[in-house]
Amino acid sequence: MNTSTSVSKFSRNSARYRGFGEVKEWHSTRFGLEGKSDFAHFRICVFQDGIIRVQASLFENFESNPYSVIAFPENVHFELIEKESQLILTTSLLRMILHLKTFNLSFFDLEGKLLNADDSLGVSWIGSEVTAYKQVQKEEKFIGLGEKTGNLNRFGNAFTNWNTDYFAYGVGDDPLYMSIPFYMGVHEKGAYGIFFDNTHKTVFNFGASTNRFVYFSAEDGDLDYYFIHQPTVTEIISSYTWLTGRMQMPPKWALGFQQCRYSYYPDSEVYTVAQTFRDKKMPADVIYLDIHHMEGYKVFTFDGEKFSDPKAMISRLKEKGFKVVVIMDPGIKSQKGYLPYTEGLKEDLFVKYPDGKTYEAQVWPGWCAFPDFTKEETRSWWAEKMAFYTDAGVDGFWTDMNEPASWGQFTPNLIEFEYEGEKASHRKARNIYGMQMARSAKEGSAFQNPDKRPFVLTRSGFAGIQRFAAAWTGDNVASEEHMLAGIRLVNSLGLSGVSFAGYDVGGFAGEASKSLFARWMSIAAFAPFYRAHSMINSKDAEPWAFGEEVEEISRNYMKLRYRLLTTLYSKFYSSSQSGLPVAESLAVQFTQDQTIYQSAFQNQYLFCDSFLVAPVESTKGITKVYLPEGGWYYLYSDQKHSGIQTIYQDCPLNYLPIYVKGGQIFTMQSDVAFTEGTHDGILRIHVYKGKTGSEYLHYEDAGEGLEYLSDVFFKRKIKYDSKSETLTFDSVEGKYPSDFKTLKIYFHGFSNDTVSLADKNFKLQREDFAFLGKLTEFDPLPEHNHPYFEIKNLPYFELDHLTEPFEILGLK
């Protein structure tokens, strides 16, 4: 048979299923093994004891995504033996069996429990589409996959990864703005993660329209996935973020409340909004400038009529304690004389057609060219252009419309991107375009202000986006359903490595009712990213715009957020080190508890390790709450509940159901108007009695600079041992002097009247400790006579701040 006949026959059959086939030859390598069948090639690489990379291709040279994985294989000891048509690869954490007759893979833990296995159809191609078919284990659940609507458990549904501008999306719609092709499978035998590192359009089918298998596929490119196993979901997430990176510690001001509208203008309106926050004593840190700050929607411009002196405006806002974040869209207006367009053409920085002509599409400014952020020269140019904003005093950057979006929503696939010298079509480059724009914004911010931490917020991204930006869930809708769907989106992003995420409080599209806005403000106080945002031609949607009751409820939860900044900032530091979420789905710590996956309870989550948040619609006055294993204290009264039970909880608008886990520690500070405001110097430490203890890492630094990377931080572990009833303060690490001079320790659930410190007994004092003050006139349950957010008669003691280690004994 001559070559041309063979190629023709392969071409005619390419539209049908074609399995990888029998492995004809293989050999071991430094990090694993590689080999081939009659027409396909494979490579298996051990990255860590619990991470194995699997690659399969129709071509001898494997493709690789240059953007997501930043780790390299470690020198891991593994054993590789051939036995009865099988290759068995064993590390200290898992065992992989490769069946040579079919190239099917099976993954086991070292006890022989099957974690994941290929269906007999295995790895295959249909034309250029590559697919891995996987068996479903008994009662297996699938979680993660980033910004995906739907249930916590993805089983029974299919999802597409294709970054899409989707205004007012439905609570079950897919795809949305961001693609993270990483999920975890959990079942009675254990848990694993799979990261499919292919930037083309991909599909993950977890049993939709089939009862035989689950699968993931890409419309083109190689099969390239990382199989991850660790004993817990927590460790699997840490392993995934070891591969794809973790967020940099953000500036502290980015953790405060942020106010946005499409759009605030002219500058007098911006002043008014900022001053109203201060007049009404509502803590806030950030004001956003949406697209109307620009001249004709052109990036790197200010509208000279609406903003006659932006530098002076921003300076005045800073005097009030506000930072300013501006929007940046990628579309560069195709206009002669507009410098960014002229420079982009001259320096060959735009996305092009294959014949070399510049690709143009319509967005806000009209017909636009699009910078090719997959080109290093473009990213450097963008960083230089950002001086326009930083010279005016802008603090942060909001990259929007970066899917990339355009009117018509149908970008031609033949347009070409540099893709770091590899050259790629839109099919391969689309999903990483937004991530690379966010990267450009972060690098540009760092270039312009090298001594400050960048803050970038992005709508679009791909696996690894957490290294460059915070994420928000796009153009949501003012509805009860969207409020709860946004919580699941943020929790799913947390499962997928994106710790710093949030949603538009109050809903972007439509108009929130008074009760909906109040409830949303309370829930979002327990979100990593806390921003209210609403669209043009809608009613005002600031926290004071809904009447006195909503204003008071909003103020109280905003104040609670700021009192908890010590805990939140400490958790962000821990997350930057471990990759674990700040808002954590209950599936992380209570993976095998079947109740948490039920629709009634799947919105619940842990915030900063200590707080169980039970979101509920604003229309309900009572709700069911599931308390998983452990003891739980109702935040507002210290009423204790045992775990593994469902309770009914009153939930009037001013009482979002929140519980503190027994055995946990968290800290608080006094009220401040913004994150850099002056507090009273007292660090309030709250310790909750429990059957199991915990360890709290308290962290401080200057809040905005990079000195913390050179040990200029204050770090201390506080440990609660439930068996010996001892609270231990470890020695201080770092060179930063603490912002707190006094420790005030509150004991919840303990019955003792004295504690011992360095052989000296202290009589516990008692006070009525109010979190936020009283609000009885708006209490929907006045017969209960509940002071607002008050924990009564709490025992505490106070001492001067100590840097040396010490222990507190005698807790009962």
Residues classed as catalytic = 400, 403, 475
Distance CA 329, CA 299 (A): 7
> CA quadruple 329, 402, 324, 505: dihedral positive or negative?
positive
Listed in sequence order, the residues at least 6 apart from 575 whose beta carbon sits closer than 8 Å to its beta carbon are: 246, 247, 499, 581, 582
| Residue 705: Cβ-neighbour burial (10 angstroms; 0-12, 13-18, 19+) | middle
Which helix (H) or strand (E) segment holds residue 433: the answer is: helix 426-448
449 alpha carbon, distance to own chain's centre: 25
CA distances from 66 to 32, 62, 70, 372, 375 (A): 21, 12, 8, 15, 12
Distance CA 619, CA 311 (A): 44
Q: Which residues does residue 286 pair with via DSSP β-bridges, in sequence order?
A: 258, 323
Distance CA 462, CA 200 (A): 11
Which helix (H) or strand (E) segment holds residue 483: the answer is: helix 480-495
Distance CA 31, CA 146 (A): 30
SS3 447: helix
> CA quadruple 332, 336, 339, 341: dihedral positive or negative?
positive
Both structure tokens of 710: 């050179």
Q: What are the backbone dihedrals phi and psi of residue 244, each rounded to the nearest 5 degrees, phi first?
A: -105, 0
Determine how many CB atoms are found less than 10 A away from the CB of residue 540: 11
Distance CA 505, CA 512 (A): 10
> CA quadruple 337, 343, 346, 349: dihedral positive or negative?
negative
E strands, 400-533, in order:
416-417, 424-425, 456-458, 470-472, 501-502, 504-505, 531-532
